[in-house]
Amino acid sequence: MARMARAVWAAAGGDVRRALGARPGTELVITGHSLGAGVACLLAVLLAKEEEALAARVRCFAFAPPPVFAPLSAARGVEVRAFLHGEDCVPFLSVDAGRRLLASLRAAGTIADTHSSLAVSRMVFGRCAPSADLVAAVSRAARGVDLPRVERAPRLLIPASSVVWVRQACGKSAGEAGGGSGGG
């Protein structure tokens, strides 16, 4: 995605600079969805360093962006608004997240091997609470405590200055959540 952000700017940067120069006081708004939102976030971070040279405010609206950046301290001052849906997995996908998920599954499997099949079935189907040792092992694995550090799998984040998390109201579709008449 970083390569794509650089490629987008290499292809469009000259035209964007000319357009912004012809319209003083104009702001540059970057947007994207899913992987495109990841590219938009990275482009916003890239352009934040050039904002003064661009003579334009740079803002990004990212819809369901994946985690693409670390450390967040390097993105200070970047104006990115991320919009996440409560059921969407993309904002949580990364190589690191996959590693922690697999570690959690391995931990659960290891602990499950110490319980009877009946006990495991009862836990899986919600008939009884998971055992304390299972909860502890899976929680530890999910945090990545025992995972070796892998240089090409950093813990990435969404470089957002604000996040809007959209969740469905209980029993209502997103359009019905407000309960109002829809008037303005």
- Find how far residue 39's CA is from the centre of its chain: 12
Q: Measure Cα distances from 130 to 119, 138, 139 in Å.
A: 9, 11, 12
Query: pTM for the full model?
Result: 0.71
| pLDDT tens-place string over residues 116-171 | 888 888 887 888 888 888 888 888 888 888 888 887 777 788 888 888 888 877 66
117 Cβ neighbours under 8 A, 6+ residues apart = none
165 SS3 class: strand
